[in-house]
Amino acid sequence: MAALPQVVIVGGGFAGLDAARRLRHVRCEVTIVDRHNHHVFQPLLYQVATAALSPGDIASPIRWILRKQQRLRVLLANVQRVDPNARTIILDRGDPVPYDFLIVCAGVTHSYFGHDDWSRIAPGLKTLDDALAMRRRMLLAFEEAELEKSPARQRFLLTFVIIGGGPTGVELAGALAEIARHALRQEFDAVDPASARIILVEAGPSILPAFPESLRESANRSLERLGVEVRTGTPVTSVAEGAVQIGDERVEAHTIRWAAGVAAETISRDLGPNLDRAGRVIVNPDLSVPGRPEIFVAGDMASFSHQTGKPLPGVAQVAKQEGARAAANVARLIAGQPTAPFHYIDPGNMATIGRNSAIADFGFLRVSGYLGWLLWLFVHILFLIGFRNRLSVMLQWAMAYLTYQRSVRLITRDPAG
Amino acid sequence: MAALPQVVIVGGGFAGLDAARRLRHVRCEVTIVDRHNHHVFQPLLYQVATAALSPGDIASPIRWILRKQQRLRVLLANVQRVDPNARTIILDRGDPVPYDFLIVCAGVTHSYFGHDDWSRIAPGLKTLDDALAMRRRMLLAFEEAELEKSPARQRFLLTFVIIGGGPTGVELAGALAEIARHALRQEFDAVDPASARIILVEAGPSILPAFPESLRESANRSLERLGVEVRTGTPVTSVAEGAVQIGDERVEAHTIRWAAGVAAETISRDLGPNLDRAGRVIVNPDLSVPGRPEIFVAGDMASFSHQTGKPLPGVAQVAKQEGARAAANVARLIAGQPTAPFHYIDPGNMATIGRNSAIADFGFLRVSGYLGWLLWLFVHILFLIGFRNRLSVMLQWAMAYLTYQRSVRLITRDPAG
């Protein structure tokens, strides 16, 4: 028997997992490599950051998700380089891994527009570690303020600046306002958590530019009701420890978070030269890399403009469908058939603001407010990976809703140590 | 109106919380200080370490637990020193805190019997951070073994040594054996997790010395059935990075954990000179410190021998009852009454071994095996603090039991980074 074709998938996010699943009944051996041992349901990362959910509620080990799949192995490693000529990927540990077909779903990180030094002061929200670090910083800020005598320093500790008015920024600002105004109320003695200042900055003319105007306005009103200061049309021109320059104004803030800009993970450079300005790979209609028919790119790292003339957005649904299409095309090549072009079916767009307000755009239907929130809840729980998570998350949200409490407000890693 | 008496409680463990609760309706102002923002249900810490439960399942913010109590403030800080003459405690941040009455429930840490350098290599299991670090190390050991070519190094990576045969050591060894033999089975390609070697070392003649002989034997059989190697009567004479000397044998092990010995937290020295060899404060019958009628000690840091002639064990029930008694005595002093002696009511003793075996000793009743496990489950869920936790833990245990899976096997903090 001839050796089976070797298919290597880089990344265990939405695209990588759906690619792996699509190859379940294909005669090949699959290797999936990720730098973390778990898949994260990224749209809910901000809920971990604001202490509404536990890491275990939105993440599952990749091995566990794929445990029933035959002829598949999972490697925990960092991919340092792709060598398309030798058809191997080079890891930070262990031997290089050869492939016959490669599906790269390594995603994106934040772009600091040339100011990479800002990343230390204003980190993003891409991993569980980011979320736990943010949670720790936020909770410790309230604790420190409680012990603080100077009103000026109390104000500084309780000022939060979120840079970037896309869904992540909006959801994070809303959740932060909610924990300060409701969950922590009355638990502190020397400070009033409700006095916390939350500023959401967007360089463009409006928050949530991907949504239609009526829903954007609804989101704006919801944020205002929660007391979030929204600054649009004002770019951030400097970020330093404890201070942000927003247009003409200098704001002193203990916690600064970045939710703007997109830059492909660096291994996209090995798949050039067809890269867009963010380093994403400009792919063929079948998601393959120009000149490399055995390499496909799916998810946030792919720049796919063949359908609408502009790149598809970096959302979970695009990633899942691209991952499945890339794998299906690998299966076709293995079977000696030509590949098929990718076609995205848009299921709609959603964002949530605080406890019971959200906006949802399904093209034919636009909803906001409480109904939007129920829909958002339903869709997100539906797509959560793993049955346990779904049950547990539903239970916790029900409790949080009834009690207004954040149940997992735990500061780990020796805060006062 | 005269100022209310100031009562300061050091430590938010079982003793500290029950002391605070007991003062709810007493005319005084209470300050509770802890170095963590959360209370941990310590008897289940090993479940977090072995990825069966999330930190949020066994811990709750102290502020949240006590949120309804009036005239109480919570400070997140490390107590560096007690100054009994000035009647103040000195924190690592903020001003010194004066007290009229002090209840110290600062607990104990592990004793390395003069080998403090071993603590870095063989840490204990006292905090959420300890548990998360252990989880990370264990899961990464399996991942590394999967990428490893050398069988000798694979064996090394999958060897776990637990030092100390008390309840913590036994429960940890049992849970480790279970995750290796069941939960991880079939998820790996190059290694067999079931080949993991788990060694439990006890210097004394038997594990679980606090239990009657019949139950000890039952525990031994359960551990053997899970494939745990139990070494009794063999002291550990040396601990180095990657190797333990057990009697005459040198065992090479990637993961070494310490569950032996007891040493009071260092601030007990400020309450001397009546300390036992472990640094615990030898208290009066009313739990006060000899010569300091305004200072009480409760929980693991107290050495109380007035009832049985030997010190009460360092278990949750003793701590809770002592905390309540210390606070009741403070209330009596505030009311101008004499203090009352402490009397411990023993509700029994339990330990669990793996998935469905436990031993329980209630004096009049001794059970082991499956019935013991059900009892253990019931009692532990009953005493978990906070309603959310109880529901969530029950649900997760039910799922884990049905599926044999560990749902929260997440490695955080950039393992391959």
Residues of B in contact with A146 (CB under 8 A): 73-76
> Encoding tokens for residue B119?
């603590």
Residues of A in contact with B64 (CB under 8 A): 187, 405, 409
Strand order of the sheet with strand B255-258? B228-232, B197-202, B159-163, B255-258
In a domain, B84, yes or no: yes
- Both B289 and B164 in one domain: the answer is no
Pick the residue of B30, B143, B144, B397 with the most A CBs within 10 A to test the interface with A by mutation: B143
Name the residue of chain A whose CA is nearest to B34's CA. A416
Backbone angles phi, psi at A173, to 5 degrees: -60, -45
- Both B174 and B222 in one domain: the answer is yes
- Both A159 and A233 in one domain: the answer is yes
Residues of A marked active site are found at 171
CB contact under 8 A, A412 and B67: no
Residues sharing a CB contact under 8 Å with residue B34, sequence separation 6 or more, in sequence order: B10, B11, B12, B16, B62, B74, B75, B76
- Both B136 and B96 in one domain: the answer is no
- Both B27 and B130 in one domain: the answer is no
Cβ burial, residue A364 (10 Å; 0-12/13-18/19+): exposed
- Both A233 and A217 in one domain: the answer is yes
Inter-axis angle of helices A387-403 and A369-383, to 10 degrees?
A: 150
In a domain, B343, yes or no: no
Pick the residue of A53, A57, A63, A139 with the most B CBs within 10 A to test the interface with B by mutation: A63
The enclosing domain of A133 has a CATH number of: 3.50.50.60
- Both B243 and B323 in one domain: the answer is no
In a domain, B287, yes or no: yes
State the first-to-last Cα distance of chain B, in angstroms, to the nearest integer: 61
In a domain, A74, yes or no: yes
Query: Rounded distance, CA B344 to CA B346, Å?
Result: 6
Give me the catalytic one of B29, B144, B171, B265.
B171
The alpha carbon of residue B113 is apart from the nearest alpha carbon of chain A, in Å, by 23
Number of DSSP helices (H) and strands (E) in chain A, helices first: 12, 25
Classified as helix, coil or strand, A303 is: strand
Residues of A in contact with B60 (CB under 8 A): 407
Residues of A in contact with B189 (CB under 8 A): 73
Nearest Cα neighbor of A366 from A218, A206, A166, A169 is A218
CB contact under 8 A, A396 and B388: yes
- Both B286 and B236 in one domain: the answer is no
Enclosing H/E stretch for A228: strand A228-232
Backbone angles phi, psi at A238, to 5 degrees: -160, 140
Name the residue of chain B whose CA is nearest to A56's CA. B408
SS3 for B190-234 is CCCHHHCEEEEEECCCCCCCCCCHHHHHHHHHHHHHCCEEEEECC
Rg (CA), chain A: 22
Residue at which a domain ends, from A210, A234, A259: A259
Residues of A in contact with B409 (CB under 8 A): 37-38, 61, 64
Residues of A in contact with B54 (CB under 8 A): 54-57, 408
Pairing of strands B108-109, B29-34: unpaired
Residue with tokens 């055995």: A294
Dihedral sign (CA B211, B213, B215, B217): positive
**Nearest CB to A408: which of B56, B409, B413?**
B56
Our count of domains for chain B comes to 2
The alpha carbon of residue B143 is apart from the nearest alpha carbon of chain A, in Å, by 6
pTM above 0.95, yes or no: no
Ramachandran region, residue B339 (left: φ > 0; alpha: ψ -120 to 50; beta: rest): beta
Name the residue of chain A whose CA is nearest to B415's CA. A36
Given a contact cutoff of 8 angstroms between Cβ atoms, the answer to whether A144 and A196 are in contact is no
The alpha carbon of residue A387 is apart from the nearest alpha carbon of chain B, in Å, by 10
The alpha carbon of residue A1 is apart from the nearest alpha carbon of chain B, in Å, by 21
The alpha carbon of residue B76 is apart from the nearest alpha carbon of chain A, in Å, by 6
**Nearest CB to A410: which of B59, B148, B187?**
B59
CB contact under 8 A, A147 and B94: yes
Residue at which a domain ends, from B334, B351, B381: B334
> Encoding tokens for residue B363?
């004096």
What mean pLDDT, rounded, does chain A reach? 87
CB contact under 8 A, A409 and B76: no
* A–B interface: beta-carbon pairs under 8 A: 165
Cβ burial, residue B273 (10 Å; 0-12/13-18/19+): exposed
Catalytic residue flag (residue B171): yes
**Nearest CB to A410: which of B38, B148, B388?**
B38
Q: Which residues form the domain of A303?
A: 6-110+262-334
Pick the residue of A410, A413, A414 with the most B CBs within 10 A to test the interface with B by mutation: A410
User: DSSP secondary-structure letter at B275?
Assistant: B
**Nearest CB to A187: which of B67, B147, B407?**
B67
In a domain, B60, yes or no: no
**Nearest CB to A64: which of B36, B187, B190?**
B187
In single-letter form, the type of residue at position A63 comes to R
- Both A26 and A60 in one domain: the answer is yes
Classified as helix, coil or strand, A272 is: coil
- Both B292 and B308 in one domain: the answer is yes
Q: Which residues of chain A have pLDDT under 50?
A: 1, 414-417
* ipTM value: 0.70
Pick the residue of B137, B390, B405, B412 with the most A CBs within 10 A to test the interface with A by mutation: B412
Half-sphere exposure of B172 (CA within 13 A, CB side): 33
Residue at which a domain ends, from B319, B334, B349: B334
Residues of A in contact with B412 (CB under 8 A): 55, 128-129, 132
Nearest Cα neighbor of B64 from A149, A47, A136, A51 is A51
Name the residue of chain A whose CA is nearest to B38's CA. A410
In a domain, B329, yes or no: yes
Q: Which residues of chain B have pLDDT under 50?
A: 1, 414-417
In a domain, A378, yes or no: no
What pLDDT, on a 0 to 100 scale, did the predictor assign at position B75? 93
The alpha carbon of residue A264 is apart from the nearest alpha carbon of chain B, in Å, by 17
Name the residue of chain B whose CA is nearest to A66's CA. B187
**Nearest CB to A407: which of B139, B189, B388?**
B388
What pLDDT, on a 0 to 100 scale, did the predictor assign at position A329? 98
What pLDDT, on a 0 to 100 scale, did the predictor assign at position A65? 85
Residues of A in contact with B67 (CB under 8 A): 186-187
Cβ burial, residue A276 (10 Å; 0-12/13-18/19+): middle
In a domain, B22, yes or no: yes
The alpha carbon of residue B64 is apart from the nearest alpha carbon of chain A, in Å, by 7
Residue with tokens 């210390």: B326
**Nearest CB to A129: which of B73, B186, B412?**
B412
Name the residue of chain B whose CA is nearest to A73's CA. B189
CB contact under 8 A, A189 and B73: yes
- Both B313 and B239 in one domain: the answer is no
Residues of B in contact with A132 (CB under 8 A): 412
CB contact under 8 A, A73 and B396: no
Residues of A in contact with B56 (CB under 8 A): 54, 407-408, 410
Residue with tokens 């540990």: A93
- Both B147 and B204 in one domain: the answer is yes
Cβ burial, residue B2 (10 Å; 0-12/13-18/19+): exposed
CB contact under 8 A, A54 and B59: no
Enclosing H/E stretch for A293: strand A292-297
Half-sphere exposure of A90 (CA within 13 A, CB side): 9
Residues of B in contact with A67 (CB under 8 A): 186-187
Query: Rounded distance, CA A294 to CA A99, Å?
Result: 9
CB contact under 8 A, A386 and B407: yes
> Encoding tokens for residue B192?
């067999």
Residue with tokens 């959740």: A175
